[in-house]
Structure 1
Amino acid sequence: MSLPKPMMRGLLAKRLRFHLPIAFSLALFAAAAFKFTVTEPRKKAYAEFYKTYDSTKEFNAMREAGIFESVRPSGE
């Protein structure tokens, strides 16, 4: 009793017809999941932060703390 010879001709095309749609589906699902679980909440957080952010106030607070070497605090 001998084993049948494996079919080698067209094997890649046969395997690709099965695996390619699965790979594209999984990639699409992963991209959508990343978009809605990571990037959208991050965009919302940035938008919320910059609604109330005052850069002048932040600059003055850092200047008063002495962070900048080239800018003297306003009290001096």
Structure 2
Amino acid sequence: MSLPKPVMRGMLAKRLRIHLPLAFAFAFGCAFAYKYAVAEPRKRAYTEFYKQYDAVKEFDAMRAAGIFESVRPSGE
């Protein structure tokens, strides 16, 4: 008694009909999950930070600390 030959004709097309839509659905699901779990909260955090951020005040604090080599601290 021998084993029957496997059906190879049309196997790729049959498997792609199932796996291709699943792959696209998974990819879009991951993209939407990333957008709403990571990107949107990050954008809100940056917006909140820059509402109260004063670049000149931060620059003066760094200059006073001596971080910059080409800028003298104020008062010299």
Shift in Å at residue 24 of structure 1? Answer: 0.8
Question: Matched residue of 1:16: which SS?
Answer: helix
Shift in Å at residue 44 of structure 1? Answer: 0.3
**RMSD over equivalenced CA pairs, Å:** 0.8
> Percent same amino acid at aligned positions?
72
Counting matched residue pairs gives: 76
Letter of the 1:57 counterpart: K
What TM-score comes out, normalization by structure 1 length?
0.94
2:15 maps to which residue? 15
2:29 maps to which residue? 29
Question: After TM superposition, where is structure 1 displaced by more than 6 Å over at least 4 residues in a row?
Answer: none
CA deviation string 1:5-61 (max 9, x = no partner):
111111100110011111111111111101100000000000100001100000000
Structure 2: state its 5+ residue gaps.
none
1:38-57 alignment to 2 at 5 Å? Answer: 38-57=38-57
1:61 maps to which residue? 61
Structure 1: state its 5+ residue gaps.
none
Shift in Å at residue 2 of structure 1? Answer: 2.6
